[in-house]
Structure 1
Amino acid sequence: MNSTPEFYVVRAGDTLSEIAVKFHVTLAQIVKWNPQIKNPNVIHVGQQVRVKAPSQEPVSEDEPFPGKDFFQPSVSSPIIEVMGWRLIEEGCSAYPDDEPDFQWSEEDRKSYAKWQRKLGFGGSDADGMPGRQSWERLHVPALTR
């Protein structure tokens, strides 16, 4: 990711979560690299936000595949939201108003099925349930724990 700019200028409608996904980093990293941001829910148009680690800090890896059993209606996790933003970025959204959340839902499954079809999968391989191969190709940014 050497071509990633060090800073991003906030545009109308941006959120820090969306900016983090766009630059394949976590929200926690953006907050850490931008101590001037006191409330991560409040950013302003024209504000510069650091989106690349200072040179001595390694850039985030991808989130490891959490396993097939993870994707259940009872599961609520920031991994699901970040996955949703990546699906939107890939043009595979079935989310109303392009707003994923932490809860695994039918919209997540439908969006993921679009991703699987985009990768060329068909039939039961495009059922919307993440598998290791399609997950690894989605490059969901790792969350800090």
Structure 2
Amino acid sequence: MRVEDTFYVVVTGDTLFKIATRFNTTVEQLQAWNHIPDPNHIEVGQQLLVAKSPSGFVPFPGAAWFKAKPNHPIISLMAVRLVEEGCSAYGPNGGQTQWDDEDRRSYSLWQQKLGFKGDDADGWPGEKSWDKLQVPFPQFE
């Protein structure tokens, strides 16, 4: 968690709309930042990212997020960055929103480019390599 990011813990009576209004953002942006598929379902006690770091890049979502095989626009944005960095193991349909083996192979190439070896270049993102990739936040109009 970065100091520049602002987090909020959901309390009884909160809705994404109320939280978005309070923090001057949108429901859609809160959904993207927090991987919330249903805007009508948040839990009391849930910690939400409500304001992003001034860097403009997605903070590391944690290793477990990738291992859960997320289906999220962040995966496509990550793929674009990997291709830009010359670290693509994507086939003709690669770079979709679902984390898959092509993403893992491509991310391994990124880790190797950074000088990681062995288990440190296994294709599972870590905070150091993720921060260096600088994946931009999804933008919603």
| Counterpart Cα distance in 2 of 1:73 and 1:82 | 18
| Counterpart Cα distance in 1 of 2:68 and 2:91 | 18
Q: Deviations over 1:9-57 (max 9, x none)?
A: xxxxxxxxxxxxxxxxxxxxxxxxxxxxxxxxxxxxxxxxxxxxxxxxx
The within-5 A match list for 1:19-38 is none
Match of 1:81 among 76, 82, 93: 76
Segments ≥4 residues shifted beyond 3 Å: none
The within-5 A match list for 1:1-145 is 61-72=56-67, 74-97=69-92, 99-144=94-139
TM-score (norm 1): 0.56
Unaligned runs of 5+ in 1: 1-58
1:72 Cα deviation (Å)? 2.6
Amino acid corresponding to residue 94 of structure 2 in structure 1: E
Q: Which moved more, 1:59-68 or 1:87-96?
A: 59-68
- The two structures, once aligned, show a CA RMSD in angstroms of 1.9
Paired positions, count: 87
Q: Deviations over 1:59-86 (max 9, x none)?
A: 8701111110010354101011100010
Percent identity reads: 51
